[in-house]
Structure 1
Amino acid sequence: MPSSDNGPWDAKVQQFHGGQDWARIDNFVEDFSVTTNAFGMPAPAMAAAVRSIAHSSHYPPADQEPARSSLARFLWPDSAGAEQGRLILGNGASELIDLVIRMAPAGTWKPGPFRTQYKEYERSARNNGLELLAADAPDKANVACLVNPCNPTGDYLELPALKDWISANVLPGGYVLIDESMQPWHSAEFRAHSLTSQHDYVRQMLDQHGIAIFVVHSWTKLWCCTGLRLGSVVCPSPDHTRAIKKVQVPWSVNVVALEFLDAVVADEAYLQKTWELTPVWRQEMTARIAEQFPAWECHGRPFLSWIWVDTKSEAVAQRAVDLAYAAGVPVRSGRPGYNHPTFIRLAVREPAKVDVLLGAWRELHSA
C-alpha cells in the first residue's frame, strides 16, 4: 500500500489489516499481502458454496449443523462426539475474539512474548476497558492472548513451552486465548502439536486454577476463503460455549460459509498438497531473496505460509511495498498496525508469481 494511503480503513476507530489493495489495482497479478493458502480456494468446496446460493432464501441452521460436527471430526477424528460441545463457529475469528474478551474477567491484558502479533486481540482488549501490559511485563494478567504460530513474526512455541508461558503469565481465574489459525500448516501431524489435543490439560487448568483456555482458529487462511468469514473457538467447557452462544448474534455464519466448511474438511488431497509444497516454495522464496538481497533477514518456521522480512531500512521497506503495488503484486508493510517499518510480510506463492514480485524489485538494487 502506498505510504500515505490508509485504503478503506478509518484509522481513528479501526485496526488496519492487509488484503484490501487488490481491488484497487488495475494490473493485479497476485496478492502477497495476505497469508492465505497459495493453492487458492479448494474447487470442490467452492462448488458446494456456489450450490448453496440456491437455498440462501432460507435462514442458516441456528445450531450451525452439519458444518460444526464436520469441523469437530476434522479436529478430533477419534473423539469428536465427546469434544464438539466445546466448539462454536463464528463470522471469522475476529467475531469470536471479541465475544470471548467481552466475557473475560476485568483487569489486565497481556500479549504473547513475541515482538508483535495479530492486533485484533489488543484492539478488543482496549475497547473492553482492559489495562494493557507489555509482553515482557513481569506481572501475570487477567487475560492473555498468544498467536501461535505468530502472525506476522513466524515465531512458534511447541506445547511444553506454550504451557509454561500460560502458567507464567495468566492469573488464577483468568482467560487465555491461543490463536492457532496457522497451526494446521505444521504437517499432517498438526493435531498432535495443537492445544486442541490437550483435553486433560485444559480441564486441569480450569478445575485447579480457574484458568479458562480458548483455542481460536480463522479457517479462512488455510482454505483461502477470507471473503466468506469463517472462524471457530474451542472452549474450555460446554458451559463456556453456551455463554458465547447466549451473546452471539443469531445466524452469524451464513449459509454459503457453512456449506463451504462442511465440504472442505473432507478435502484431504488439498491439505496433502499444502503440506508437501508450501515448505518447498517457501524455501525457494527465501533462497532467492537471500541471493538478491543478502542484507535482508527472513524470519519464520519453514512450514508457514508467509515470510517476515527485515529489510533493515525503513526507506527500502517502503520502496519495496510501493514497487510491488505498482507491479500488481501487493505485499504487507510492517509499518501500519505492527509498527515495524523496516519489515515487510510476503505470502508464499507459486514460483511464476514470485518472478513478478522479484522482477518488480530489481530497481532496489540501484537504490
Structure 2
Amino acid sequence: MTSNATTPNANTTSWDEKSQQFHGGQDWLTLTNFVEDFSVTTNALGTPRPALEAARQAVNLCDHYPPANQEPAKSSLARFLWPEQWATNHGRLLLGNGASELIDLVVRTAPAGPWKPGPFRVQYKEYQRSAQAHQRPVLDSTDPSQAAIACIVNPCNPTGDYKPLSELKQWIESNVQPGGYAVIDESMQPWHSPQFRQDSLTSQTEYVAQLYHQKKISVFVIHSWTKLWCCTGIRLGSIVCPTAEHCLALKKVQVPWSVNCVALAFLDRVAQDQEYLDDTWRLTSQWREHTVTQLHDTFPQWKCYGESFLSWVWVDTQDRTVSEKAVNLARAAGVPVRSGQPGYEMPTFVRIAVRSPEKLQMLLKAWEPLLN
C-alpha cells in the first residue's frame, strides 16, 4: 500500500484550493489498488458500449474541426428531451463542455445583482463558485429576498432532496426578481422513471414562456449528461433556454468548438440507446434499495437520505470521527467514497454511489473495522 492511498487529504491534491471548487472523483488517480469508485454519482451500469465505440471511432476525425452547429448530436438530444416536439424546441438547446461551461455562461450573462441557492441544506457548489468568481453578492437560501439569479439543483446533489413541478414553480416565482434568471439543474432528474419528462421543467414550454412574458423571469434548465451516461471524462452538458433568443445570446459568448468530436459522437449514439435507459431505471432503484437495507442492517445508527430513484445515498454517520474513518478505510481498500466535509462542510456525512450488490460488498468489507 502506498502512502497516497491512506493519506486523509489525498483526494484534494488534484485541486488548487486557492482557485478551484473541490469536487469528488479524483481519488482513483492516487490509488495503486483502485477497484471501484463510490465517490461519484455515475451510472452503476458503466459507460454504454455502443456510444463508447462511437467515441473511439470519432478519434479518427481528430484532424478536423468538430461541427460548429453541434450536429447531428444536438438534434439527437433534442429528440431525447422532446420526442414529439423536438423540432419546435431545438432552437432553445445548446450543448457545452460539461455543465460547468454552461453554468459559467449563464451566471456571467445574467442581469446584475445577487445570486441565491436552492432551499436545501447544501447543494452542488459550482453555481456558487461561478457567482463568486463574477463578484455577485451571495444570499443565504433562507433569505426572503428575491435574487437576480437563483439556482436550484433538483434533485439536489448531494442531499437527495427533490421538488416536484408544482413546488419547483412556487420556488422560482418566490425567489427570482422580475427580469431575473432562474437556473434549474436537472442533471439527476432523468433517473426519475420512464416518465421523467412529465416531471421535468423541460416539458413546461408554455409555463416558461408565460413566466417570461408576464414577469420577464428567464428559466434555464441545465443537464450534465456525464452521470447518467457515465462519461465524466469527455465532458458533456446542455442547457435549455427560455427562448431561442436567449440561446443565441449564450452562443455569442461561448468559446467556439467547445464540444469536441468525441463527445458529439458519443452523444449522438447514446441519446438513441433505449435499452441502456430501461436497464438504468430497472436496476438503479433495486440496487439503491439493497444498499440502504445493507447499511441499515450493518450500521443501524446511520441515517440514509435521498429519493429512491437516485444513483447515490447521502449518509449521516452522526459522528465526525466515524465519517473520517469510513472515508479513509474505503480509500485504503481501493473503493473511495465522497466525504461530506470538503466542499459541503458536512463532516458527519458521506456520499455513496449506487453500485451492484457484489461491488457493495467490497465497500462493506472495507468498513468492517467500524463495527469494533
Give the TM-score of the pair, scaled to structure 2: 0.98
Within 5 Å, give how 1:258-273 maps onto structure 2. 258-273=264-279
CA distance in structure 2 between the partners assigned to 1:125 and 1:348 by the alignment: 31
CA RMSD of aligned residues (A): 0.7
Contact preservation (8 Å) 1:281, 1:350: yes
- After TM superposition, give the deviation of residue 2 of structure 1 in Å: 4.1
- The yes-or-no answer on 1:179 pairing with 2:177 is no
For residues 184 and 240 of structure 1, the distance between their equivalents in structure 2, rounded to whole angstroms, comes to 24
Q: Give the counterpart of 1:136 among 124, 129, 142.
A: 142
**8 Å CA contact 1:7, 1:21 repeated in 2:** no
1:67 to 58, 68, 73: 73
User: Where do 1:239-250 residues align within 5 Å?
Assistant: 239-250=245-256
Shift of 1:313: 0.6
Instruction: Find 1:154's aligned residue among 157, 160, 164.
Output: 160
Given candidates 287, 290, 294, the residue that maps to 1:284 is 290
1:3 aligned to which of 3, 8, 17: 8
How far apart, in 1, do the equivalents of 2:72 and 2:350 lie?
40
User: 192, 201, 214: which is aligned to 2:198?
Assistant: 192
Cα offset for 1:56? 1.3
Counterpart in the other structure of 1:308: 314
Post-superposition CA distance 1:79-98 (Å, at most 9, x none): 00000100000000000000
Q: 2:239 is matched with which residue?
A: 233
**Separation in 1 of the partners of 2:154 and 2:22?**
20
Separation in structure 2 between the aligned mates of residue 163 and residue 79 of structure 1, nearest angstrom? 22
* Percent identity over paired residues: 61
Match of 2:329 in 1: 323
Q: By how many angstroms is 1:107 displaced?
A: 1.1
Q: In the TM superposition, what is the alpha-carbon distance from 1:7 to its structure 2 partner?
A: 1.9
Q: Which amino acid in the other structure matches residue 198 of structure 2?
A: A
The one-letter code sitting in structure 2 at the alignment partner of 1:26 is T
Q: Within 1, Cα distance between the matches of 2:241 and 2:327?
A: 39
Q: Contact (CA 8 Å) 1:9, 1:16: kept in 2 or not?
A: yes
Match of 2:261 in 1: 255
Which amino acid in 2 is paired with 1:211? I
Structure 1 segments unaligned to the other structure (5+ residues): none
Once the two structures are superposed, what CA deviation does each residue of 1:155-176 show, in whole Å capped at 9, x if it has no partner? 0000000000001111000001
Aligned length: 366
Write out the 4+ residue segments of structure 1 that deviate beyond 6 Å after TM superposition: none
- Give the match for residue 213 of structure 2: 207
Of 166, 170, 174 in structure 2, the residue corresponding to residue 164 of structure 1 is 170
TM-score by length of 1: 0.99
Residue of structure 2 equivalent to 1:361: 367
User: Which residue of structure 1 aligns with residue 56 of structure 2?
Assistant: 50
What is the DSSP-based 3-state SS (H/G/I as helix, E as strand, rest coil) of the residue aligned with 2:67? coil
1:62 maps to a residue whose letter is: A
1:293 equivalent among 270, 289, 299: 299
Q: Is the 8 A contact 1:230 1:257 kept in 2?
A: yes
Residue in 2 that maps onto 1:102: 108
